[in-house]
Structure 1
Amino acid sequence: MHTETLVQSMLVPLFLILLSTVDDTLLQSVSQVGGVCKLTTESSLRRCKTPDGKICSGRGKCDCGICICEARDPGKFYGPRCECHDWVCAAHNGQPCNDRGYCDCGICECDEGWFGDACQFQEECNLPSKKSKELCKNPQGVVCSNRGTCHCGSCMCENEDNRGLVTGRFCECDDSDCLDEDTGEVCGGHGQCYCGNCYCAAGWHGDKCEFQCDISPWESKRRCTSPDGKICSNRGSCVCGECNCYDVDPSGDWGDIHGDTCECDERNCHATYDRYTDDFCSGNGQCNCGRCDCKEGWAGKKCEHPVSCSLSLESSVKKCRGKSNLPCFGRGQCQCGQCTCFPPGDSRVHGKNCECDDRQCEGIGGEVCGGHGYCSCGRCICEKGWFGKLCQFPRSCDMSDTESKELCETSDGVICSGKGSCHCGKCICSPQDWWVSGEYCECDDRECDKHDGLTCTGNGLCNCGNCECWDGWTGNACEIWMGTEY
């Protein structure tokens, strides 16, 4: 008896839903005759309205009772009321639905054996407790940032009031920062929140997506499109038809980017050596929208070549280049075939083409060749009994193989992260993979920023994916000279 009642209670609402769907379809099919809408404006809008009173979920326009959804990158809105959008499904480790399910109208449908808003939790866990706990530690070593519990190597974040405002791989994000103070809605109901930051829907902007543009998203996009067809030349963000250009340095003193569509990039006026000074066009010209207009007596793309020089520009650059792809190895100024090495007064950079950089022999702490050798044109010559790029490894030691390997093991029991060999309790990272570094070979130096094609611009050392700049240098890639002007 109970079973029959349960089945009937499920079938009745299901029948009503199906009936409603059929009714909507029939109504829509007869709502237009000969291309003319037969519905009143009120009736048309009623069909397009969502339960919360929005027309087409605020993501499209109503045409005779049918929603025409906006098309916008990176995906599209869809559904009878434009209520669905697949690209905002929860992600874990950078993968939508953790690659353990699929996205359906903004909600992850998980594969069997997985659960969670991003399918990040496994129902059956085979991980040891210690390994699970290690995987849940944030960069500061705190399990789930003290805002959640660890389950099989993944953090289950606190979920007060069932709003799910604590998010992130390590529960490091507080999405309450996205709540509109007046309405209490996330991003004012006009955007999505990612780690405490609002990403607004087309036509809306502001920290909480509280402001609406007075032009359509399509017109906004048209106004922000640069001559090469890119939005703000890929150097800025478009807000209501106006480009907010990015700048390398917030002060505007370095790498000024401007123009209606950010099409002008003054960084193009900096010659290789000009990163040591604020001079544009080698100090011999005027920069106009990223192009150098040279003073009389100077030539070249960056006004670096004196017309009075007996060598052609090509011959001059060739003499300065030596075995490098950059004039003066990217460490000096080339003028009429002669290199002047920079920074000025630093004897560690020397050679006919500035090919020797003895700073490369220094460790993070400034010690030359680990105190076990001397530097010769940027390379360490090690004392007897020592080896390595910085003479940091002794050839022999008083410890057993077992003792040595214990010092090389990571928390999950892998020696040197599987990317190197263990010697005297220290990891020697694979020389074939130059980018592998770190105490346990856990770092990827390819993540270090480059400038002029050089990692850390040659003015610092790459330390576990981040540039550690030498004195006088700053910037993500150590590209900005802050020392004495030459």
Structure 2
Amino acid sequence: MHTEVFLQSMLVPSFLILLSTVEDTLLQSVSQVGEVCRLSQESSLRRCRTPDGKICSGRGKCDCGICMCEATDPGKFYGPRCECHDWVCATHDGQICNDRGYCDCGMCECDEGWFGEACQFQEECSLSSKKSRELCKNQQGVVCSNRGTCHCGSCMCDQNDDKGLVTGRFCECDDGECLDEDTGEVCGGHGQCYCGNCYCAAGWHGDKCEFQCDISPWESKRKCTSPDGKICSNRGTCVCGECTCHDVDPSGDWGDIHGDTCECDERNCHATYDRYTDDFCSGHGQCNCGRCDCKDGWTGKKCEHPLSCSLSLDSSLKKCRGTSKLPCNGRGQCICGQCICHPPEESRIHGKNCECDDRQCEDMEGEVCGGHGYCSCGRCICEEGWFGNLCQFPRSCDMSDAQSKELCETDDGVVCSGKGSCHCGQCICSRQEWWVSGEHCECDDRECDKHDGLICTGNGVCSCGNCDCWDGWTGNACEIWVGAEY
């Protein structure tokens, strides 16, 4: 008897709670019957409000107590209050949880044997300690950029702030750059941060994804698509259906890259030797959207060939190329099979095909061959006892091997980043890998900009991935002449 009474006393409240829940669900489901909401605005918003006071997490609209979440590219916000999105689980190459688990409202649930916020770490490691450390070294040879620990060839980045702002394969990234100053959210809650840069969901833009477009993502993409099918011709960024072209004109008046979809690139009208003036198309034509329309009497891609010449354009260019791929080695103008080296008063550029560039013998301070040799057609002839492309290495050495090695080691103890040999405390980078440079062979010069196929346009030197231009030249690729008139 007592047991029966006890059960009844327990069942009644449970039934009332269940009834209340059903009633609430039914009320919500019928609240929009006949397109008339039966909830007050206050009640509707209360149902849509998150604990921090945001309506639908700021990612949707509240319609009679129900959150209508925004569609994004890819995927969609979801959850009762639009609090979930699976892009948080995606790596930069688009994999969800590295294909080693599944995403549950922005949290990776990893397969057995894996762990980490993106399931990137293996619980049991078969790698040796040495092999693991090698896989954790960045380009400079530093393990996890000194901002994390190495676990089975993967970097576990330090998270002293508990916000996960140190990221990257080698912990090289600071995602604090993605925080919205007003809300404190990463990319305003409308994008994904990758190495300090926000990649916004469709319909959102701005450095921190803080602005929303008033047109659909598909319409925006359509308006920004160039005739060749590329977004802003791969020379700009699409913002709400309008292309913002990458401006390379230092004057700031208008860009060399322009057009509704950035389809016009006026740089194509400049020869490599041209200085920055209105003298496009070798001075013998008009530049129209990156294409030279030549005046009468001239022809060629850049109107460089006079029709009065007895040689054809191909024959003229062949004579000017010599052994180079570019006419006049990209340092002069080819006129009827003869090279005129530019600028004319520059005595350091000479030769039949402008093949000699004695600037190559100078360091950035202007010293020729390190003061230990002389320049012959752009190459240093070193004095006895010195060697190197700039005669910068002494053949004799007055320090011990241990002292020399110490000066050549990176912070992580690797000699010349593993890409060169050590001589008298200086790194000699591998000649087989021409792009390797830097004090400790830590730089990749393939990252330097080119113009007409020439690194730094032949008007500067590549220094750790960036062009250091010689006097008179500027631009990312040293392609712009700003020196004296000629």
Aligned to 1:392: 392
Please tell me whether the aligned partners of residues 157 and 171 of structure 1 are also in contact (alpha carbons under 8 angstroms). no
Structure 1 residue runs without a partner (length 5+): 1-15, 25-30, 32-37
- Deviation of residue 177 (structure 1)? 4.8
Q: Which amino acid in structure 2 is aligned with residue 179 of structure 1?
A: E
Match of 1:340 in 2: 340
Give the stretch that moved more between structures: 113-122 or 237-246: 113-122
What is the distance in 1 between the residues matched to 2:256 and 2:426?
Answer: 45
Map of 2:473 onto structure 1: 473
Alignment of 1:327-406 (within 5 A): 327-406=327-406
Listed as ranges, the gaps of 5+ residues in structure 2 are 1-16, 38-43
**1:441 corresponds to which letter in structure 2?**
C
Rounded Cα–Cα distance in structure 2 between residues aligned with 1:268 and 1:256: 9
Amino acid at match of 1:477: A
Change over 3 Å in CA distance of 1:251–1:473 after alignment to 2: same
CA distance in 2, matches of 1:395, 1:100: 54
Give 3-state SS (helix, strand or coil) of 1:446's partner: helix
Residue 438 of structure 2 corresponds to 438
Query: Offset at 1:225?
Result: 1.4
Give, in angstroms, the shift of residue 328 of structure 1. Answer: 0.6
After superposing the two structures, state which structure 1 stretch, 112-121 or 306-315, moved more: 112-121
Asked whether the 8 Å contact 1:67–1:80 carries over to 2, the reply is no
Q: Is the CA contact (8 Å cut-off) linking 2:173 and 2:196 kept in structure 1? A: no
Q: Residue 158 of structure 1 contacts residue 166 of structure 1 at CA under 8 Å; is this kept in 2?
A: no
Residue 437 of structure 1, CA deviation: 1.8
For the structure 1 residues 70 and 173, does the alpha-carbon distance in structure 2 shift closer, same or farther, using more than 3 Å as the test? closer
Q: Which amino acid aligns with 1:434?
A: W
State the partner residue of 1:447: 447
Q: Note the alpha carbon deviations across 1:250-272, whole angstroms, 9 max, x for none.
A: 53468522222222221222223
Over residues 272-299 of structure 1, what are the superposed CA-to-partner deviations in whole Å (9 max), with x where a residue is unaligned?
3225544211122211222222222222
- What percentage of residue pairs aligned between the two structures are identical? 71
Change (3 A) 1:407 1:317: same
Residue in 2 aligned with 1:178?
180
Q: Distance in 2 between matches of 1:190 and 1:90?
A: 14
Write out aligned runs for 1:396-435 (5 A). 396-435=396-435
Contact 2:274–2:481, Cα closer than 8 Å, also in 1 = no
1:375 maps to amino acid:
C
Match of 1:223 in 2: 223
Paired letter, 1:245: C
Cα distance in 2 for residues equivalent to 1:407 and 1:194: 35
Please say if residues 219 and 241 of structure 1, whose CA atoms lie closer than 8 Å, have aligned partners that are also in contact: yes
- Deviation (angstroms), 1:326: 0.7
C-alpha deviations, 1:51-83, integer Å up to 9, x for none? 748779848999xx99898463xx444767786
Displacement, 1:324? 0.8
Higher RCO, Cα 8 Å, sep 6+: 2
* Match of residue 158 from structure 2: 156
- Secondary structure of 1:329's counterpart equals helix
Q: Aligned equivalents of 1:420 and 1:286: distance in 2?
A: 49
Distance 2:209 2:416 in 1: 47
- Work out the number of aligned pairs and report it: 430
- The secondary structure found in structure 2 opposite 1:237 is strand
- TM-superposed deviation, 1:154: 5.5
Provide the C-alpha distance between the structure 1 equivalents of 2:446 and 2:203, rounded to a whole number of angstroms: 38
Q: Determine helix, strand or coil for the equivalent of 1:178.
A: coil
Q: TM-score, normalised by structure 2?
A: 0.73
The within-5 A match list for 1:238-249 is 238-249=238-249
1:438 CA drift (Å): 2.0
Aligned to 2:310: 310
Counterpart contact for 1:187–1:200, Cα < 8 Å: yes
Does the Cα contact within 8 Å between 1:443 and 1:465 map onto a contact in 2?
A: yes
Higher Rg of the two aligned structures: 2
Note closer, same or farther for the CA distance 1:90–1:249 as it changes in structure 2 (3 Å cut): farther
Partner Cα separation in structure 1 for residue 427 and residue 178 of structure 2: 43
Partner SS state of residue 243, structure 1 = strand
Alignment deviations for residues 41-60 of structure 1 (CA, whole Å, 9 cap, x no partner): 689xx9xx977487798489
Q: How does 1:3-152 map to 2 (within 5 A)?
A: 52=50, 58=59, 70=71, 72=73, 75-77=74-76, 85-89=85-89, 104=103, 106-109=106-109, 117=117, 151=149
Contact 1:178–1:193, Cα closer than 8 Å, also in 2:
no
Cα drift, residue 311 of structure 1: 1.9
CA contact (8 A) 2:49 2:57 kept: no
Evaluate the alpha carbon distance shift between residue 231 and residue 363 of structure 1 in structure 2; reply closer, same or farther with a 3 A threshold. Answer: same
Correspondence for 2:485: 485
The match for 1:260 is 260
1:465 deviation in Å?
A: 1.9
- Partner AA of 1:265 in structure 2: D
- Specify the SS of the correspondent of 1:339: strand
Q: Give deviations 1:377-424, integer Å, cap 9, x for gaps.
A: 111112222222222222332344344333323232222222222233
Aligned pairs (5 A) from 1:453-464: 453-464=453-464
Aligned alpha-carbon RMSD (Å): 4.5
**What secondary structure, in the 3-state scheme, does the structure 2 residue paired with 1:292 have?**
strand
Is the Cα contact below 8 Å between 2:273 and 2:332 reproduced in 1?
Answer: yes
Distance 1:388 1:253, change over 3 A: farther
Q: CA deviation at 1:331?
A: 0.6
1:207/1:413 Cα in 2 relative to 1: closer, same or farther (>3 Å)?
A: closer
Distance, in Å, in 2 between the alignment partners of 1:383 and 1:97 is 60
**What's the TM-score once normalised by structure 1's chain length?**
0.73
Corresponding residue for 1:296? 296
Whole-angstrom CA distance in 2 between matches of 1:423 and 1:185: 50
Verify the 8 A CA contact 1:409 1:440 in the aligned structure 2.
yes
Deviation per CA, 1:95-149: give whole Å up to 9, x if none.
9899696672544456888866467889999989xx99x989x99xxx97xxxx8
Q: In structure 1, how many angstroms separate the alpha carbons of the residues matched to 2:113 and 2:469?
A: 47
CA displacement, residues 315-361 of structure 1 (integer Å, 9 cap, x when unaligned) = 22111111111111001111222211122311111001100011111
Match of 2:273 in 1: 273
Partner of residue 8, structure 2: none
CA distance in 2 between partners of 1:392 and 1:415 (Å):
19
Inter-CA distance 189–171: structure 2 relative to 1 (3 Å threshold)? closer
